[in-house]
Structure 1
Amino acid sequence: MADGQKIQELTLEDVMGDRFGRYSKSIIQERALPDIRDGLKPVQRRILFAMNKDGNTHDKAFRKSAKAVGNIMGNFHPHGDSSIYEALTRMSQDWKVREPLVEMHGNNGSMDGDPAAAMRYTEARLSKIANELLKDIDKETVDMVLNFDDTEYEPTVLPAKFPNLLVNGATGISAGYATDIPPHNLGEVVDALIYLLAHPNADLDSLMQFVKGPDFPTGAIIQGVDEIKKAYETGKGRIVVRSRTSIESLRGNKSEIKVTEIPYEVNKAVLVKRIDEIRLNKKIEGIAEVRDESDRDGLTIAIELKRDADAQGILNYLFKNTELQVTYHFNMVAIHNQRPERVSLKVALSAYLDHERDVIKRRTQFNLNKALERVHIVEGLIKALSILDDVIKTIRASQNRKDARDNLVKSYDFSEAQADAIVALQLYRLTNTDVTQLEDEADSLHTAIIEYRQILGDSAQLNKVLRKELKDVAKEYRNPRRTEIQDQIEEIKVDTKVMVADEEVIVQVSHDGYLKRTGIRSYKASDESENGLKENDFPIFLQKLNTLNHLFMFTNKGNLIYRPVYEIADAKWKDTGEHISQTIGLDSDEEIISTFAFKTLKETGHFLIATSDGYIKQTEFAALTPGRTYKKRATTFEKAKSEATRIVNVIYIPVASDSQAQDNTVLLMSRLGQGLQYQLDEVPVNGARTTGVKSMDLRGDDEVVDLQLVNEADTIAMVTQRGSFKKLPVKEIPVTSRARKGVMVLRELKTNSHEIVDFIKLPMKTTPLEIITARNLIHDVLPEDHPNGGRYSNGSFVIDVDTEGVPTSIRAKILPLTLS
């Protein structure tokens, strides 16, 4: 090991922490965040300084961008040329910055996200307003430091005669910090600065009389004054930015949505594509065509609608689901006193004023020093002209220039600076006129010196100068506000009718849980029996519905599955459709027992629910309306007492008059042949996650098999486990009270007694019944072929349980739909 060489043992944690700390400090201060004083990042500052130093200003001809980039990279910013050119280009894009600092000839990009042409093709120069950022930089107004190779000096900040941080905003991401400062209107910000200059203790409300809110270069509409105030108060907040739109009428009862301004930093091409995808994917109905009609005169997106389309409804949907409306997040972070800081509006304005005071002081001191130097020379020249002959004689007698200077200092008490100016004086200046001019110059210099000293010695005078300069900038560059500000954030309500094609469809739900909706045309073109279901599956619900209807499916384990009809898989009539378990997790032995369709989700009726273990309740429709997670999980509509409990039936009771309600009675039957009937109003209304009250007094291992809502004119049909079918008039069962045992509706046998499997209220129309067996076989029964039986009869055998299987349920046959 060589002498003097040392090896340090350091932990990786210490080394990484130290290196990353240095790296973070570098990118925070030297790359990503703007300075609060001039609102510029280092690369932007170097671009402006280099172009100004090179004479590439607004009053000169354009120069190739590549020349400017090369000069910046070679002298001040030793990074990639692409990053420099990108920063230069952004400062020229009038849809990115409120007041462009660079003018560019050629393709400098577009709102569609197109990149600028290569730097060898474009030409650039500083804009006129950029000169205001650089004004007086040659008067020692800001600190200058050596560049990366110590060959040039560059400024640490620009004099900035207007508050660029707020006017052009900033965006950037560094280590642990990010910034999003929106652009503002120059005139408004300057007015606020002038007010703050006169009222240093002004509160935020006073300042917001002038700075109403951001003023985006792309215009649009800001909603939410309270959020703007919060952002200005804390430096962090969010506002809603909405496109400027209008609805125009077209011929043929059509209309068109015109978009003329879009939110800040939204890619127009992506926005148009997104709207067109919504049209193609038919996420909403009514959009006929989407066109980008933007040209040199301005931005226009035309959304042509179909005949009789709901224009406002479609627009609301687009506001909610596209970047026609966005949320802009304030995060006003800037380098303040050499460190990153989230600043309020007042802090940003105050910091700028402090910077400008410092610039004016330094400029005034520079001008004062120059004036004092010059007045000293002028006074020496006047004195020399008053003794001109002696001065000339002394100069002629001198050996050289240095000797002449020394002799003048020695003979006439001139300073060395005065003597140098006298020696350098040209002969044509030795006239009476020039003496007069020198005396006038001396007078003006003395006046200026007094003024400079007043500014430096009196803060009121300094503020007066600052106020005048701010007013001059505002007078020159003030322009109207582009972004409209609205007090409140408008709540967007999207009508389902806008999102869904309003059409009639056929909806089928099968016993095994398959759902589908089919167009009328497909249904008519197919045989009704070719319903796409498996051999042992069968439909339990088949209706003609509207796509705007709502489907409620109740399972035997207390789960409610909700689907808007338009969300059910659209399939041909010959297709199976989708299984409910694809989106909802259900048990393998869980079945859909009742299905209802509703026109709205604002029904006011009740659901009557009964369980196998003898509980019953009514639940309001409103208590079962779907939540946000209906697509992924079912809603509980009944809290079961045990895992063996099953819901035997769910009946929907629409709102009825009192007279109608009195006719409705609840009829329950148990497996061991007990029948109980009582008034509906004995069943209380309970919530969704409750069990309810006792419905029937069950003895031993008996259980409720079904529930029906009947009146005394009805007839019921029941089926037993031995395959017997029986019809029984409801009036045979007396109306008593809830929670009683009931009366026998079967004749007891000594051996192999009949047990009720299921019962049903006979439909008003002559409709066949279907008895389903444990082997998933279906046996048709015509009720009119069987006479009514008494309470003590067991009916007649209709099913051979040995060959067909034990009956499990009975229901009215679902007949093919009659479509006009």
Structure 2
Amino acid sequence: MSDNKIEELTLEQLMGERFGRYSKSIIQERALPDIRDGLKPVQRRILFAMNKDGNTYDKGFRKSAKSVGNVMGNFHPHGDSSIYEALVRLSQDWKLLEPLIEMHGNNGSMDGDPPAAMRYTEARLSKIAGLMLRDINKDTVEMTLNFDDTEKEPTVLPARIPNLFVNGATGISAGYATEIPPHNLRELIKALIFLMQHPDASLDDLMQYVPGPDFPTGGIIQGTDGIRKAYETGRGRVILRAKTTIDELRGGRRQITVTEIPYEVNKAQLVKRINDLRLNKKVEGIAEARDETDRSGLRLAIELKRNADAKGILNYLLKNTDLQINYNFNMVAIDDQRPMRIGLKHYLESYLAFQQEIITRRTRFDLNKAKTRLHIVEGLIKALSILDQVIKTIRSSKNRKDATNNLVAEYQFTQPQAEAIVALQLYRLTNTDVTDLQDEQKRLNDAIAEYEKILNDKNELNRVLVRELKTIDKAFGSDRRTQIEKHVQKLTVDTKVTVPDEEVVVLVSHAGYIKRSSLRSFNASSLDDNGLREDDYPLLIQSASTLSHLFMFTNLGHVIYRPIHELADTKWKETGEHISQSIGLADNEQIISALILDHLDVPGTVIISTSDGQVKQTTISDLNPGTRYKSRASVFMKLKNDQAQVLNVQYYEPKDENTSLTAISKQGYGLRFDVAEVPVQGTRTAGVRAINLKDDDELTNLVLTNDQDNLAIITQRGAFKEMAASELELGRRARRGVLVLHKLKKNPHEVVDFIAYSPEFHGALEVITNRPEFQDILVDDHHLGTIKSNGTFVIDTDTQGVPVTLRKKITAVDDKETDPNESTEDTPQHGSKRETLDIN
């Protein structure tokens, strides 16, 4: 090999050049349709080869394998499977609005079943496919040599129907993809005729005739704005949903019946998905989903249980299955040898220009043929008028060629005329034949005049095109199958549809563990056998519906929301899920209070207090969760400084006019004031001053109190004291208050925590120390002290630790029917900062 044949290229150059050629090949010659006939090369070759073999609608079916073999051997040097797949798709009436192939045998199904092998099926061109190939023998399209230069094939078919939009297209190539939906033939023809008559028509004008796609599987399109955007830019998105009805069955039961499904959705997988949702209990109320499709048409039956929410279940299925899909337009086609994104008007204009070219070329072909024939007819008529001389000349000639030359020389016939005369058969030399020739001459002259008129007058050409389009519409036009709705319906799914309404027991622990357990599991275990560590304890144990809502409040002003049904479903003896598995908390952050609500639209507020003496009310609606509630906490209280912490969060609904708020500071100053003095504010506010604290003092708690309630107080030295709440006169907020402890000069008592309880409460309170140790205190063992007393010692701080919390002892699950403004012996006090809060 000589050196001049070796070319040095970098890898980048080589790969770029090779991949560029490959990309151009698959873009132009494989994956994208031509804007003129709407066909990819393999489809065009299938139709051309079958037409060339006479495998048309008016003849019998032939084995698909024969058609595939002809295409592969003559025009498409690729695998037979790809050719057969293309042929099968052209026959599937659930993918093409106007199938171009008729097939006998199994050609697949909407369930995704594969077609039978090509040796078993038979195929032929459909009647409408004849329009795709009509006039192809009249030099209407360019022909090119096939891959081995043995045959000629068309670069495009005449396509007398706007096939690109009628049957749509889908494909993926290098750097380009296309998704063109099917459209109604009748609507497209009307739009073409209107555009021909009004070349300056706007997109809105054309959309009066073509309002949107028309899928062979019907369905409902929602979102005309998306259609308009797609028709304007070539890209857009619409919602495509199934056509459904809710039917009444016997016994008061109902059924969702599906009669049309979205385009290209696998029916079998759709039914399986619905049944999977039912079996996995993702949706409540479905008894059975089955496919009742038969020869009369598609039908899916989704039978519901008695009293099921049919509308809610339908919305859930639309949202979570392929009963509703997003359809994305991406209308890319090969236009003038390059891929282009096209809109509706662009396509219609391109198709009209192509059809005008087809008619022009066809007319020119017919004109030349008519002129050629007229020339021959005129020669025959002249020959018959001098028949004796012509016969004499021919008889005196040596041979056929000599006779032809003699006729040209003696009578001024042209060479073609002379050849026609020599080839004339004797029986044609009758008077009848002369008359026929004269009639034919007249017809040819009329046809030539008509052809020349079409070629010279664009309006006449358009009249021909309009006439032919109307004929096609009359023969093949059909009514729209897909319904179009202007607006996209917003789907809202009630939780009751997806979650069974079950009674469970919810636990939230001080260390941040949360869980729900079935009543069966709870009742089979003891209350204390809850799976928590020894140094952990429950903040809330409460029965609730799985449809209820849990709010957890932290000491740094964050609220964490969880629907009860999303909590980890564990046995009562198991620990449950730690909040840090989904939401990160600060090192010094902990849950201090939990609240369960049956509904998010309750009228009450939460009263929030902080250690620096601030208080505010916030409506429940302000706490409603956002879309990212699973991974992040929301702010419910803005803290004024880094040292401040949230102490207590209490649900409040004004049912008792005697309800007030009691605040006690660390140094023993107590203040009671009306709830109405606390304004209702948003979540990102710091509230107002509840109590006027000294610089070195802080608030220990703030609780809702009735006039007849008692207060229980615990100090850092382990002293416990009970007193009547009425000892604190009702005053105004933001005051210093009065002392509720006797001041000692040496080692004075400091309030750690306090709660309010009803005089009818005769149960136990629980003191929790910093170790932690748990000490029970029976309220009946202590008498009410005066406002200045320091109580009695109940905790040995040296051996048990320093008290940090005082609360009602949880001795039974809190029933969700308990009124939050009434305290009972077995339920935690509503005002405690670490207890169950309930609204019912």
TM-score range, shorter chain: over 0.9
Q: 2:803 corresponds to which residue?
A: 807
Inter-partner Cα distance in structure 1 for 2:119 and 2:704: 86
Amino acid at match of 1:688: T
Inter-partner Cα distance in structure 1 for 2:45 and 2:413: 44
Inter-partner Cα distance in structure 2 for 1:352 and 1:767: 89
Q: 1:341 corresponds to which residue?
A: 340
| CA-CA distance at 1:759 after TM superposition | 0.6
Tell me, yes or no, if the aligned pair for 2:543 and 2:814 is still in contact at 8 Å. no
Q: 2:820 corresponds to which residue?
A: none
| CA-CA distance at 1:154 after TM superposition | 1.1
* Pairing partner for 1:765 from 744, 747, 761: 761
Give SS of 1:138's match. coil
Amino acid at match of 1:192: A
Tell me, yes or no, if the aligned pair for 1:549 and 1:565 is still in contact at 8 Å. yes
Q: What does 1:10-409 correspond to in 2, within 5 Å?
A: 10-409=9-408
Q: Deviations over 1:660-692 (max 9, x none)?
A: 45x333222222222233333333333212322
Matching of residue 479 in structure 1 with residue 478 in structure 2? yes
Inter-partner Cα distance in structure 2 for 1:588 and 1:566: 28
Q: Deviations over 1:538-583 (max 9, x none)?
A: 3221222222211111112211111111212222333332222221
| CA-CA distance at 1:248 after TM superposition | 1.4
* Pairing partner for 2:749 from 732, 749, 754: 754
Q: 2:779 corresponds to which residue?
A: 783
Q: 2:734 corresponds to which residue?
A: 739
Tell me, yes or no, if the aligned pair for 1:511 and 1:540 is still in contact at 8 Å. yes
Q: 2:711 corresponds to which residue?
A: 716
The 10-residue stretch of structure 1 (42-51 or 756-765) with the greater mean CA deviation from structure 2? 756-765
Q: 2:525 corresponds to which residue?
A: 526
| CA-CA distance at 1:818 after TM superposition | 8.2
Amino acid at match of 2:29: E
The 10-residue stretch of structure 1 (526-535 or 386-395) with the greater mean CA deviation from structure 2? 526-535
Amino acid at match of 2:793: F
Inter-partner Cα distance in structure 2 for 1:713 and 1:166: 81
Amino acid at match of 2:154: P
Where does structure 1 lack aligned partners over 5 or more consecutive residues? none
| CA-CA distance at 1:629 after TM superposition | 0.8
Inter-partner Cα distance in structure 1 for 2:613 and 2:435: 122
| CA-CA distance at 1:192 after TM superposition | 1.6
Inter-partner Cα distance in structure 2 for 1:536 and 1:496: 36
| CA-CA distance at 1:378 after TM superposition | 1.2
The 10-residue stretch of structure 1 (626-635 or 794-803) with the greater mean CA deviation from structure 2? 794-803
Q: 2:534 corresponds to which residue?
A: 535
Q: Deviations over 1:359-415 (max 9, x none)?
A: 111111101101111111111112222222222222222222211111111111111
Size of the aligned set, in residue pairs, is 815
Inter-partner Cα distance in structure 2 for 1:512 and 1:778: 16
The 10-residue stretch of structure 1 (519-528 or 476-485) with the greater mean CA deviation from structure 2? 519-528
4+ long deviations beyond 4 Å = none
Where does structure 2 lack aligned partners over 5 or more consecutive residues? 818-840
Tell me, yes or no, if the aligned pair for 1:540 and 1:814 is still in contact at 8 Å. no
Q: Deviations over 1:131-167 (max 9, x none)?
A: 0000010000111111222221111111111111111
TM-score normalised by the chain length of structure 1: 0.96
Inter-partner Cα distance in structure 2 for 1:818 and 1:150: 89
| CA-CA distance at 1:205 after TM superposition | 2.8
Tell me, yes or no, if the aligned pair for 1:604 and 1:655 is still in contact at 8 Å. no
Inter-partner Cα distance in structure 1 for 2:224 and 2:89: 29
Inter-partner Cα distance in structure 2 for 1:200 and 1:490: 36
Inter-partner Cα distance in structure 2 for 1:770 and 1:591: 20
| CA-CA distance at 1:286 after TM superposition | 0.4
Q: 1:795 corresponds to which residue?
A: 791
Inter-partner Cα distance in structure 2 for 1:223 and 1:817: 50
Change (3 A) 1:774 1:57: same
Q: What does 1:579-598 correspond to in 2, within 5 Å?
A: 579-598=578-597
Amino acid at match of 1:766: H
Tell me, yes or no, if the aligned pair for 2:664 and 2:701 is still in contact at 8 Å. yes
Q: 1:501 corresponds to which residue?
A: 500
Tell me, yes or no, if the aligned pair for 2:527 and 2:811 is still in contact at 8 Å. no
Tell me, yes or no, if the aligned pair for 2:542 and 2:814 is still in contact at 8 Å. no
Q: Aligned-residue CA RMSD in angstroms?
A: 1.9
Inter-partner Cα distance in structure 1 for 2:314 and 2:660: 50
Q: 2:664 corresponds to which residue?
A: 669
Inter-partner Cα distance in structure 2 for 1:349 and 1:92: 25
Inter-partner Cα distance in structure 2 for 1:546 and 1:265: 41
Q: Deviations over 1:779-819 (max 9, x none)?
A: 11111210111232211111222232221101011222488
TM-score normalised by the chain length of structure 2: 0.94
Inter-partner Cα distance in structure 1 for 2:105 and 2:240: 31
| CA-CA distance at 1:725 after TM superposition | 0.7
| CA-CA distance at 1:195 after TM superposition | 2.0
Tell me, yes or no, if the aligned pair for 1:505 and 1:545 is still in contact at 8 Å. yes
Amino acid at match of 2:673: Y
Give SS of 2:251's match. coil
Q: What does 1:399-438 correspond to in 2, within 5 Å?
A: 399-438=398-437
Inter-partner Cα distance in structure 2 for 1:13 and 1:388: 79
Q: 2:683 corresponds to which residue?
A: 688
Give SS of 2:302's match. strand
Q: Deviations over 1:599-649 (max 9, x none)?
A: 211123222111123322222222211111111111111223444432111
Amino acid at match of 2:344: L
Q: Deviations over 1:194-226 (max 9, x none)?
A: 222222222223322222321100011112233
| CA-CA distance at 1:435 after TM superposition | 1.7
Matching of residue 460 in structure 1 with residue 459 in structure 2? yes
Amino acid at match of 1:534: R
Amino acid at match of 1:532: G
Inter-partner Cα distance in structure 2 for 1:195 and 1:646: 74
Give SS of 1:139's match. coil
Inter-partner Cα distance in structure 2 for 1:226 and 1:619: 41
Inter-partner Cα distance in structure 2 for 1:766 and 1:242: 62
The 10-residue stretch of structure 1 (159-168 or 793-802) with the greater mean CA deviation from structure 2? 793-802
Inter-partner Cα distance in structure 1 for 2:141 and 2:814: 89
The 10-residue stretch of structure 1 (217-226 or 361-370) with the greater mean CA deviation from structure 2? 217-226
Q: What does 1:568-647 correspond to in 2, within 5 Å?
A: 568-647=567-646
The 10-residue stretch of structure 1 (71-80 or 412-421) with the greater mean CA deviation from structure 2? 71-80
| CA-CA distance at 1:108 after TM superposition | 1.0
| CA-CA distance at 1:589 after TM superposition | 4.3
Inter-partner Cα distance in structure 2 for 1:668 and 1:470: 88
Identical pairs, percent? 62
Tell me, yes or no, if the aligned pair for 1:615 and 1:692 is still in contact at 8 Å. yes
The 10-residue stretch of structure 1 (159-168 or 21-30) with the greater mean CA deviation from structure 2? 21-30
| CA-CA distance at 1:11 after TM superposition | 3.6
The 10-residue stretch of structure 1 (225-234 or 262-271) with the greater mean CA deviation from structure 2? 225-234
* Pairing partner for 1:725 from 706, 720, 724: 720
| CA-CA distance at 1:174 after TM superposition | 2.1
| CA-CA distance at 1:588 after TM superposition | 4.6
Inter-partner Cα distance in structure 2 for 1:376 and 1:441: 11
Q: 1:654 corresponds to which residue?
A: 653
Tell me, yes or no, if the aligned pair for 1:385 and 1:435 is still in contact at 8 Å. yes
Inter-partner Cα distance in structure 2 for 1:529 and 1:651: 25
Inter-partner Cα distance in structure 1 for 2:695 and 2:486: 70
Give SS of 2:378's match. helix
The 10-residue stretch of structure 1 (179-188 or 728-737) with the greater mean CA deviation from structure 2? 728-737
Q: 2:2 corresponds to which residue?
A: 2
| CA-CA distance at 1:353 after TM superposition | 1.2
Tell me, yes or no, if the aligned pair for 1:45 and 1:157 is still in contact at 8 Å. yes
Q: 1:699 corresponds to which residue?
A: 694
Inter-partner Cα distance in structure 2 for 1:497 and 1:773: 43
Q: 2:825 corresponds to which residue?
A: none
